[in-house]
Structure 1
């Protein structure tokens, strides 16, 4: 079954980035699912990607148009509401993908709709900056996707690959996505938190110095935690992500830094909060993440 009708829920940085790419190729076969108040806001104020108007088609959560592919691009605290919002758009062949940070969104979506049509995925390598209804980026990054833990791509993975080829989204297929998601989580634990507290942009952790050392130390604390959770991460994974970091635009900013500047609640519970809780669960010390957690919570208290 070919993917034709595609919906995204969530117009943060990744929703706009990939929504714009998709809508330019398939037009009204692409839609953004949102409640009526958000739709009115998007339509009155517009949504822009690198200065271009995003000509999105909008559908309310009450509309019953069935999607072949639904992409979740909300934040974790909005995931449960997003699951409810898309239910009228789900059919027996609908494929689900999540672009959320953290290590839990696939599990939550799978519990809601079943794992049979869930494609595990993670976005990486983009240097997006979102200011109000405007998104700017230099590098659009890629979406890594595949099976959670298997050797051969499944039929649903092949359907997504064909669709991404058709609309021009860069991708990488990895059929150990459980490991990939943990590895991306490790990166976010380092770069999002350290730039939010000790830097202004990616450039602050691209050069040798205290911020880069702290980023690496925070990432290192994830490795033993992941192993206790059944996922094998190594120093080679840190080396890989450092190459990714060094290839980003120095002026770009991670999402948490943008939240701090906008005085919005951050995803600190998703990052160091998770590392610290799992560390306590397994009897592992996580002093760097405890330090970053306290720093970010102090920042949030001033908002």
Structure 2
């Protein structure tokens, strides 16, 4: 069944970038951003600029939400619990759901509330968006990779892929989406945390020196943990993720580095926290991620 109405939870870089493209495919009146009622009161009149152009998106409070064909979650992990509550009015019997959150655990939390039948697994990667003071800039829109979970109903992935095609959003359907999710987690564990701790950019993290050593060491620890979890991630996958970073604007920065500038709570628990917790299950040593977690917490506490 074609997707014609879309709601997005999360009005940050990921939600705005993809939402601006989807609006052109379904029509702006069929796309809405939904916020919890308190957040709506604070942000309903925010001026949003994307690559120099003012945007006019429909934003509604969760209390006014009605079922739509597709719900996209594009919040940070720190806002997932609230997002799951805020989307309740949006979910009808045939509503499809896609989560574009970082990490490998958000879908389990969503499924615990709404089930797996219309939920897919997905990641977004390769975007170099910077979102500061309600101004979004990007030169690479990246891509979405998606696939079915074990209990996803037939046709759901195809319906979402059809919408992405109509919206001109680069995407690919993965047979083994969990492996791709772990590869993305490996990349984030390296680039997000390194740039946050050092106040760096994509360019500085890939240049020879301490930042690059930190990046690679953190990623190799994540790779070892993935393998222990039964997800086969190779050195070739690591090199592929490094290549993705190398193709981004060298002066750009990932979300955690932007969090440091904006003094916002980061997703370090999703990155180093996940790696440390899973490493302990398997008796693996992950000193680089332990150091990164400690250093990020120190920076956050200084605010």
| TM-score > 0.5, shorter chain as reference | yes
Post-superposition Cα deviations, 1:77-105, rounded to whole Å, max 9, x if no partner, equal: 21111111111111111110011111110
Which consecutive unaligned segments of at least 5 residues does structure 2 have? none
Which consecutive unaligned segments of at least 5 residues does structure 1 have? none
Structure 1 segment 215-226 matched on structure 2, within 5 A: 215-226=215-226
Post-superposition Cα deviations, 1:214-273, rounded to whole Å, max 9, x if no partner, equal: 211100001221122221111111011011010000111110011111222211111112
Distance in 2 (CA, whole Å) between partners of 1:29 and 1:93 is 17
Q: CA deviation at 1:149?
A: 6.0
Q: CA deviation at 1:146?
A: 1.2
1:167 and 2:167 matched: yes
2:288 matched residue in structure 1: 288
SS in structure 2 of the partner of residue 8 of structure 1: strand
1:82 and 2:83 matched: yes
1:101 matched residue in structure 2: 102
SS in structure 1 of the partner of residue 141 of structure 2: coil
Distance in 2 (CA, whole Å) between partners of 1:265 and 1:181 is 23
Give aligned pairs, total: 302
Residues 256 and 266, structure 2, Cα contact 8 Å, conserved in 1 = yes
Post-superposition Cα deviations, 1:16-60, rounded to whole Å, max 9, x if no partner, equal: 111111123321111111134433444423222112122211222
Structure 1 segment 216-295 matched on structure 2, within 5 A: 216-295=216-295
1:186 matched residue in structure 2: 186
SS in structure 2 of the partner of residue 142 of structure 1: strand
TM-score (normalizing by structure 2): 0.95
Cα 1:123–1:220 shift into 2, 3 Å: same
Residues 72 and 99, structure 2, Cα contact 8 Å, conserved in 1 = yes
2:93 matched residue in structure 1: 92
SS in structure 2 of the partner of residue 71 of structure 1: strand
Following superposition, which runs of at least 4 residues in structure 1 exceed 4 angstroms of deviation? none
TM-score (normalizing by structure 1): 0.95
CA RMSD of aligned residues (A): 1.8
1:115 matched residue in structure 2: 116
Distance in 1 (CA, whole Å) between partners of 2:154 and 2:244 is 28
